[in-house]
Homo-oligomer: A and B are copies of this chain.
Amino acid sequence: MEDIKRTEIASLGEFGLIKHLTRHLELKNSSSLKGVGDDAAVLSYPEKQILVTTDLLLEGIHFDLTYVPLKHLGYKSAVVNFSDIYAMNGQPRQITVSLGVSKRFSVEDMEEFYAGLRLACEVYGVDIVGGDTSASLTGLTISITCIGEGDKERIVYRNGAKENDLICVSGDFGAAYMGLQLLEREKRVFAGESDFTPAFEGREYLLERQLKPEARKDIVAELAKHNIVPTAMMDVSDGLSSELLHICDQSGTGCRIYEERIPIDYQTAVMAEEFNMNLITAALNGGEDYELLFTVPLTCHDEVVTLPGVRVIGHVTSPALGAYLITRDGAEIALKAQGWNSLGSENGEKV
């Protein structure tokens, strides 16, 4: 083990810690008038509509610090919030960050977490404008609220899908879930061995999708460039199947998606094979993909298929037809939502 410096949080005090962590923050967005340091942050959005989303991440439920580096966790905590703003066809601009920190963590640990947070904010052009730190009896608690902006005419809700609209997705599915399975397996193996080298070679993509996901800012930019406003949009955090059912439910429609059109990475397929898992189930229900799922009018077909990384996977139907996956051999399988105990992960659900 290398000699890692450890400064107890108690030595700085709570005021000291939060001052220390936020000392180099600069505000870059014109909508950020006042950041950290008062009773509230002050923002200004005279010409835009304002988007607000919030996520609570709890140690042992949403992340396992056995294999998640704190810097990655900081990055991911921010990005999953940005993803919700992009899902409204908006741009994230500010976050507030609340942390509950047990004595197990040092000042250096929190610096690592903040380094990841700051990196994500730099990459996506977001300001950290407020925060709250607190002692915690058990582990790490992270609560982030993200504020973004959107144009009134271009904000996209979940409820606007119309019959015959095309169902589109960005990226590919199931990789983050496979990355999680891989990490969990290595953790179990590691527990039983003294000189252990994890078998991660050739699986870097899966690990990256799990540990350092990105939000699809690029897709929102492409849509704007082509002047396409989706009729409905969501980000895929709880699994493609579940999110598609939300859109159908809120739009009052049914849908058909085609197994052969679901984009899946090669590494995901290899891992599913290795784990003896059903690949399409993993892709539909795995979650944490942070891709965009959206619907566009049929008239957009020729344009939408030219967008890099976007794929048409099916179409919207009348509600009476229900929501089904058409398999490669033509069978219809009803799409299922995963609930509270989905995949044993008990991840949170946003309303």
User: Could you tell me which A residues sit within 8 Å of B by CB distance?
Assistant: 9-10, 13-19, 22, 33-34, 36-47, 49-56, 58-62, 84-85, 87-88, 90, 94, 96, 98-100, 129-139, 141, 143, 145-148, 150, 152, 155, 157-159, 233-235, 250, 337, 339-341, 346-351
The answer to whether B100 touches A56, judged by C-beta atoms less than 8 angstroms apart, is: yes
A346 to B135 CA separation, bound complex (whole angstroms): 6
**A54 partner, pick from B61, B98, B135, B339, beta carbons under 8 A:** B98
Chain B nearest CB from A32 CB (Å) reads 10
The residue among A39, A87, A145 with the most chain B CB atoms within 10 A of its own CB is A39
User: A9 contacts which chain B residues (CB < 8 A)?
Assistant: 340
Please state if B42 and A150 are interface contacts (CB–CB under 8 Å): yes
Instruction: Decide: B56 and A348 in contact? CB cutoff 8 A.
Output: no
Tell me the bound Cα distance from A137 to B38 in angstroms: 33
CB-based nearest B residue for A346: B135
Q: Is the CB of A61 within 8 A of B349?
A: no
Whether B40 lies near A53 (C-beta < 8 A) is yes
Q: Are B52 and A130 in contact (CB under 8 A)?
A: yes
29 A-B pairs with CB atoms under 8 Å apart are A14-B339, A15-B339, A17-B340, A18-B349, A37-B158, A38-B158, A39-B85, A39-B350, A40-B84, A40-B85, A40-B88, A40-B146, A41-B52, A42-B50, A42-B150, A44-B152, A53-B130, A54-B98, A55-B98, A56-B99, A56-B100, A61-B137, A100-B141, A100-B348, A132-B351, A133-B349, A134-B346, A137-B138, A137-B139
> Chain B residues with Cβ under 8 A from A34's Cβ?
157
A87 to B145, CA, bound (A): 20
- A136 B61 Cβ-Cβ under 8 A: yes
**Shortest distance in angstroms between A143's beta carbon and chain B's nearest beta carbon?**
4
Known: A44-B49, A348-B132. A339 touches B37 (CB 8 A): no
Cβ contact of A145, chosen from B14, B100, B137, B145, cutoff 8 A: B145
Distance in Å: Cβ of A2 to nearest Cβ of chain B: 29
In the complex where A42-B51, A135-B340 touch, is A351 in contact with B143 (Cβ < 8 A)? no
Can you name 13 extra interface pairs (CB under 8 A) apart from A14-B349, A40-B90, A54-B143? A15-B340, A38-B88, A39-B234, A41-B51, A43-B51, A46-B47, A53-B130, A54-B130, A54-B132, A56-B100, A61-B137, A100-B348, A138-B138
CA distance A278 to B346 in the complex (A): 49
Report the bound CA distance from A61 to B88 in whole Å. 36
Closest residue on chain B to residue A237 by CB atoms? B39
Within the complex, the shortest CB–CB distance from A51 to chain B, in Å, comes to 4
Complex CA gap A10/B42 in Å reads 40
Whether B96 contacts A157 by the Cβ 8 Å rule is no
Q: Which 8 A-B pairs have the closest CB atoms?
A: A134-B348, A143-B143, A14-B340, A56-B98, A13-B339, A40-B53, A39-B87, A40-B51
